[in-house]
Structure 1
Amino acid sequence: MYSDSGDMRTQINLILDGFNELPYPSQPDVAAQIGVSESTMRRRLSDQKTSFRRITEQHKRNRAQALLQNENNTILEIALQLGYADSPTFVKAYKKWTGVTPKKYRQRARNASL
């Protein structure tokens, strides 16, 4: 479907952007949508110095930051929307990605807008 357009990372992000249901699509599912084998996708991503896991984590981080902008979204709701079983697991992942907790990110964003 996408095999002739852009680099592999861009193609995967386009698929993830259009995906609004849980769980996130698996590597085999995404490879099939792009129209390549899993091994070809892995090789092309390796050539681009990345991996499917890294791309999905970056996508989740970006989506989390967008969802955190809306103060009406609770941390638990965001965690569940991103496929985490609970908020502590999401908080741990978010802190690993950004160095701060989601709560601290919200506080900084709020203070920056004042």
Structure 2
Amino acid sequence: MARRDLSGAVDFTVLGRMTGDDDAISEEVLGLFAQQAALWAPMLDVREDGWRDGVHTIRGAAAGIGAAALAEACAVAEAAEKAEAPPLLSRVRDALDTALADVAAWRHELMLRSLKG
């Protein structure tokens, strides 16, 4: 997976501005994003007491790396009543999957750059 595999779900210029375009810091931030996603994604179900906390945490992390569509999907789900949330949480999961695919592609690109020196 490499840059050519990006869907556009993540605007990596946002990440670049935050990290000063430092590849090592970008890799660390993206690794943390992937870890947070793995921790919070199982909570994206209204049967989980902390579903709103999960959405809120993913929202902030998404905004930090430039995943605007994911952050917006999270904002909508977070504001919803529990009865309205299931399809909104499904959209969050789909947007999260797409963002994670872009993150994996970008991290692969970073790894390739580090090998080139």
Give me the TM-score of the superposition, normalised by structure 2. 0.31
Greater length-normalized contact order (CA 8 Å, ≥ 6 residues apart): 2
The structure with the greater share of residues assigned to helix is 2
